[in-house]
Structure 1
Amino acid sequence: MGLGVDVNELLALAGAHKALTAVAVAAVVVGGGIVAATAVGSTIATVTKVVDGDTIDVRYGGREHRVRLLNIDTPEAVDPNSPVECLGPEASDWLKQRLPVGTEVRLERDEETRDRYDRELAAVFLGDEFVNAEIARAGMGVAMSVGPNVKFLPQVEAAQAEAVSGGRGLYATSIECTVPARVEELSSAATETVGQEPAGAAALADFDSHRAELVALLVTAKDLLALLDGDADVLPMAAYRNQTSTLRWQVARVQDRLESAETRNGIARDARKSQLAEEARRAAEEAARQAAAEAARQAAAERAAAAARAAQQSAPSYRPPSPSTATRTAAPPPSNSGSGSSTYTGCRSYAPGGKTWTPIPC
């Protein structure tokens, strides 16, 4: 061909290149030094820090690298610009227990090796255990695709399906912050509250208190519906893509029950208010009747007293008779001792008590 190159030599070189590409083991060279002898596209590294539930720091090639685990997304726990999400701290703790500092792991890449934050993207293996999938299996994260990186996605999705069916982590109704738990709690609270409707003879304050409880639950239902209508590609709703319609139906059903109960409460309160007003009117009438009767009795008593006073004033005055003779001191009765002396003074009229007397004809 005039190029001075042996065609057979080129063919031999091409065959050798294909053979090397097919070999599963190669020397990974970074900065001129051999890091590890492992599978093509793989790296042996040592964990130096667990940042959160889906991010770790590792060391290989003589320096630190931040690695974002591929195809798994866990709730936020450390972002200062975002609130801590349900099970965010728990996901971080789970990964810290799985990959304590000093653990040796194997990193495997897919099509894109870095994300927009310049973090390395990798599947992390602990021996034969695929850590990314184990996070999903524990219910601590959800499967997610990152651009063309779908090589490991089916394994993570299968693990997530196990968490859903097992009710683990984000799918547990026993963990109060999860969406299924919040929906179940709303349903239970609504059933209890609706069942405590005030009786017809209750005080108006009881109706008002009951309505306040219903309104609070309606606010919760509204918030849950807004959450369920949110972005299905980000947490928390990314965890419930296949459950959203069912969860939304449950919340909407509870909302209808609460609204019906609020309507009944309003009708019952109005009826009770009218009843109390009628009772108050009758009580006022009875009080007025009794007051009038009492006033009549008092007036009659006053008239009778006035008549008695007038009769007393018109009657003649009583004057006691004056004594006709002077009252004298009674003398002792005559003595029958036979002494020969006598003090008899004639017939007498003794006053009551016998101490005084007056002479009378015998």
Structure 2
Amino acid sequence: MLSKIGRSGGTMSLFAVVAAHKVAATVATASMLLGAGVVYDGLYGSAMATVTGVVDGDTIDVLYKGEVDRVRLLNVNTPETVDPDKPVECMGPEASDYLKSRLPAGTEVRLERDKETKDGYGRYLAAVFLGDELVNAEIARQGLGVAMSVAPNTKYLAPVQQAQVEAQQAGRGLYSSDVDCTVPAKVGQLEESATEVLAEQPTATATLASFDWHADDLGAVLATAVTLRQLLDGDTTAFPLLPHAGADVISLQARVRDASAELDQAVDTNTSARAAQQKRLDDAAEEAARKAAEEAARKAAEEAAREAAEEAAREAAQEAATRRAAEQSAAAAAEATRRSASAGSSTRSSTATKTAAPTQSSGGSSSGSSGYTGCRSYAPGGKSWTPIPCPSR
């Protein structure tokens, strides 16, 4: 990155260092060189410049002696927004917006240097004052940047560090639990999600689907916990962990571990509860099947008994009918026999009476003039006969 934007010709230092060896270290009053808006302050020097634009949360462009210079604010570091090789980092846009609101184009600022004037990108390094206010520290006080130093430039480190502590204690910016992208907010969201999902443990008699849904919810929150653990095990010298390096990271890690442990226990509990409910359902199904089988057997037995009873009744009815038929047949035969016997007796009596009168021929047969018209039994040759009973019809 160029130290001068649009400069042609030779390079002019933004901060002129007094080279005169006669300037003693104990001089209390700084010698001043008036002209072109430049003021020298002892060995370190300071200069008045006009802001022309804000590059990001810790870098501005200023107009000095008709030229635009890029200035990197000393001892403060804000999340990245313009590096083409990095994604926009949490609170980076907010830091840029804050600096734009404090240093709009045309603002007069005082720039004070430290021991080294430029960084490796060719940018001037300076503390930026707006009146008596150190803008470098104000960025940290808003929680939009963290204190940093690259030796030997530590002159303004202490006020930036103090401002950072104030932001941390107040929970502002990068330390806020209400800004979704910050690490504290992510840990807080994990704890909140864990509390909610832990409270949704299904009852012992819930459906198996309820246990499965709960397992999915637990798994989703646990996946978030794994991601956070990986994040908190990352590089504490870079964002997003840079603001939390040290004890703060350890505390955040402990909170994530605690939430993860509760979630792991909930997974085991849910798994055991589901298995118990599965066994209850299996036992109930088995008992229902047993009862159904018993009921089916009972009904089959009853049906078989009914059919057997019906069959026995049919056989008994048939036997009774057969018996009645036999009895009726026997009775009919007996009646026929009785009637036949009665008719025979009557016939014999009548025949005896009728055959008593005819005159027997010499051959033992009755004469044809006897007048008998009943049934006859003829002797061989048919010349004689005897009366017999007629068969019944």
- Could you tell me which of 256, 262, 265 is aligned with 1:251? 256
Tell me the SS of whatever aligns to 2:204: coil
Partner of 1:126: 130
Partner of 2:285: 280
CA deviations over 1:95-124 (Å, ceiling 9, x no partner):
111111111111111112222222211111
Whole-angstrom CA distance in 2 between matches of 1:283 and 1:120 = 85
Whole-angstrom CA distance in 2 between matches of 1:94 and 1:148 = 28
Tell me the SS of whatever aligns to 2:275: helix
CA deviations over 1:23-80 (Å, ceiling 9, x no partner):
524338xxxxx43132332121111111111111111122221111111111122223
Answer yes or no: is 1:290 the counterpart of 2:283: no
Q: CA deviation at 1:313?
A: 7.7
AA partner of residue 251 (structure 1): V
Partner of 1:345: none
CA deviations over 1:226-264 (Å, ceiling 9, x no partner):
222222221121111241122222211111111111111
Whole-angstrom CA distance in 2 between matches of 1:15 and 1:252 = 61
Q: Contact conserved, 1:25 with 1:37, CA < 8 A, in 2?
A: no
Partner of 1:214: 218
Answer yes or no: is 1:71 the counterpart of 2:75: yes
Whole-angstrom CA distance in 2 between matches of 1:21 and 1:48 = 35
- Could you tell me which of 115, 119, 137 is aligned with 1:111? 115
Answer yes or no: is 1:138 the counterpart of 2:138: no
Answer yes or no: is 1:37 the counterpart of 2:5: no
Whole-angstrom CA distance in 2 between matches of 1:15 and 1:111 = 17
Partner of 1:27: 33
Q: CA deviation at 1:298?
A: 4.0
Whole-angstrom CA distance in 2 between matches of 1:303 and 1:311 = 12
Tell me the SS of whatever aligns to 1:244: helix
Q: CA deviation at 1:18?
A: 4.0
Which of the two has higher C-alpha Rg?
2
Tell me the SS of whatever aligns to 2:221: helix
Whole-angstrom CA distance in 1 between matches of 2:307 and 2:283 = 36
Whole-angstrom CA distance in 1 between matches of 2:255 and 2:191 = 8
The normalised TM-score by structure 2 is 0.70
Whole-angstrom CA distance in 1 between matches of 2:25 and 2:143 = 42
Whole-angstrom CA distance in 1 between matches of 2:144 and 2:166 = 12
Partner of 1:331: none
Whole-angstrom CA distance in 2 between matches of 1:117 and 1:226 = 32
The normalised TM-score by structure 1 is 0.75
- The alpha-carbon distance between structure 1 residues 261 and 21, as it changes in their structure 2 partners (threshold 3 A), is same
Q: Contact conserved, 1:50 with 1:95, CA < 8 A, in 2?
A: yes
Partner of 1:192: 196
- The alpha-carbon distance between structure 1 residues 288 and 55, as it changes in their structure 2 partners (threshold 3 A), is same
Q: CA deviation at 1:145?
A: 0.9
Partner of 2:269: 264
Partner of 2:5: none
Whole-angstrom CA distance in 2 between matches of 1:297 and 1:82 = 84
Q: CA deviation at 1:299?
A: 4.0
- The alpha-carbon distance between structure 1 residues 267 and 101, as it changes in their structure 2 partners (threshold 3 A), is same
Tell me the SS of whatever aligns to 2:54: strand
Q: CA deviation at 1:17?
A: 4.5
Q: CA deviation at 1:161?
A: 0.8
Write 1 or 2 for the structure with the bigger share of strand.
Answer: 1
Q: CA deviation at 1:301?
A: 4.6
Partner of 2:51: 47
Whole-angstrom CA distance in 2 between matches of 1:169 and 1:114 = 29
- The alpha-carbon distance between structure 1 residues 81 and 302, as it changes in their structure 2 partners (threshold 3 A), is farther
The worse-fitting range, judged by mean Cα deviation, of 46-55 and 293-302 is: 293-302
Answer yes or no: is 1:179 the counterpart of 2:206: no
The worse-fitting range, judged by mean Cα deviation, of 156-165 and 219-228 is: 219-228
Q: CA deviation at 1:165?
A: 1.2
- Could you tell me which of 211, 225, 231 is aligned with 1:227? 231
CA deviations over 1:296-329 (Å, ceiling 9, x no partner):
344445555666777788859xxxxxxxxxxxxx
Whole-angstrom CA distance in 2 between matches of 1:73 and 1:249 = 27
CA deviations over 1:137-191 (Å, ceiling 9, x no partner):
0111110112311000001001111111111111112222221222222222212
- The alpha-carbon distance between structure 1 residues 52 and 37, as it changes in their structure 2 partners (threshold 3 A), is closer
Whole-angstrom CA distance in 2 between matches of 1:222 and 1:15 = 62
Structure 1: any 5+ residue segments left out of the alignment?
1-13, 29-33, 317-362
- Could you tell me which of 159, 173, 178 is aligned with 1:155? 159
Partner of 1:98: 102
Whole-angstrom CA distance in 2 between matches of 1:158 and 1:244 = 19
* Alignment: residue pair count: 300
Tell me the SS of whatever aligns to 2:165: helix
- The alpha-carbon distance between structure 1 residues 36 and 285, as it changes in their structure 2 partners (threshold 3 A), is same
Q: Contact conserved, 1:72 with 1:136, CA < 8 A, in 2?
A: yes
